[in-house]
Amino acid sequence: MSVIGTGMNNVSEAAGAASNAQSVSPPVYECDRENALKGIPTEQIYVFKTIENIQEIIGKTAGWVGDLLYPYLAFLDTPPEQLWNFDAVQTPGICKQYFESLRILVIKLPSKPQEMVTGHLCHRLRRAAILMGNVDEELSGTGSTTYRATNTICRNSCKEADGGIIPHQRRPGPQGWPTIIFESGVSESLERLQQGARWWLTQNNHEVRAVLLAHILCAEQVIDLQVWRMLPIQHPRSGTPPDAQLTPQCDNQLRIDCSAVPASTIGTVPFFVIRFEDLVLRPRSENERHFFLNMLDIQSIASVFRASL
């Protein structure tokens, strides 16, 4: 089993660290090795041998994924044609990202808290749609769809989400992007989650309207929620094209302390997630509302999280 070093420093995010909603983050085009491997420790970076070898490494790592600060594996020199072979045997729950020009395959390993929190966040928004008069019938989940970048000169990267919602007005499959993406990560993976949010918001002509991140700290029993979307740069240079005046930013954040019952929060509740028009892609009627997480939603999410530990 070959393990190589990248010369990168491991990044450790302090618990509860969050991006300032007013700060400006430059668009991430994911075209260089440093960005592709950001936050992945050197001991979790391998040289591709065979698909069977990848499966073996995943199998060995899965037993102690809860102890990993960064639940990611990277495989260098992965031929693009091998990606199809991996798809055929891909373990359910695993999400991948592939950088074709770099021949780097990044695999995100699932954990029970990550899967249950992601699924329940999606469920609570879908439940809100049902309570508006079966608006949920206009929406579908993304499943394990792989999406390929379309909006930059680096159109050779692809990515799978932990979850997402796509309105029926968009065609299903890789050509129909979801309007909201759900990404969750445990322990020290916040920076990687934020990098993923930037990818989703910049690689598809603004078809993804919001990314809801859940940074899960199991030992502390804390969930930090962040909503990322494209927002105007505060002081754009004169003559900057309109599209270039938008950048991915954290627009809203909430900390949920699940260590006690009921759970407590730091931040504003109801917690705004996405406008109705941005999620469903049609004007809302009189009885339809924008999508928030209220205190009932928060307590339900906390209960599901505690049950996953």
- Please give the domain boundaries of the chain with CATH numbers for all domains: 112-308 (3.90.1570)
Q: What is the mean pLDDT of the chain?
A: 85
β-strands 246-257, 264-266: how paired?
Answer: antiparallel
| 222: nearest Cα among 117, 125, 108 | 117
Q: Mean pLDDT lowest for which of 40-44, 156-160, 173-177, 244-248?
A: 173-177
Q: Is the pLDDT confidence value at 27 over 70?
A: no
| 29: nearest Cα among 211, 151, 161 | 151
Average pLDDT over residues 127-153: 87
Give the DSSP H or E segment for 229: strand 222-232
Radius of gyration of the chain (CA): 19
Q: pLDDT above 90 covers what percent of the chain?
A: 61
Q: Is the pLDDT confidence value at 196 over 50?
A: yes
Give the pLDDT confidence of 265-284 residue by residue, as tens digits.
999 999 999 999 999 999 99
Q: Is the pLDDT confidence value at 285 over 50?
A: yes
Q: With left for phi above 0 and alpha for psi between -120 and 50, is residue 63 left, alpha or beta?
A: alpha
Q: How confident is the model at residue 175 (pLDDT cuts 50, 70, 90)?
A: low
**299 or 91, higher pLDDT:** 299
Q: Is the pLDDT confidence value at 3 over 70?
A: no
Q: Is the pLDDT confidence value at 14 over 60?
A: no
Q: How confident is the model at residue 191 (pLDDT cuts 50, 70, 90)?
A: confident
| 168: nearest Cα among 210, 136, 129, 127 | 136
Burial of 34 (0-12, 13-18, 19+ CB in 10 A): exposed
Q: What is the pLDDT of residue 62?
A: 78
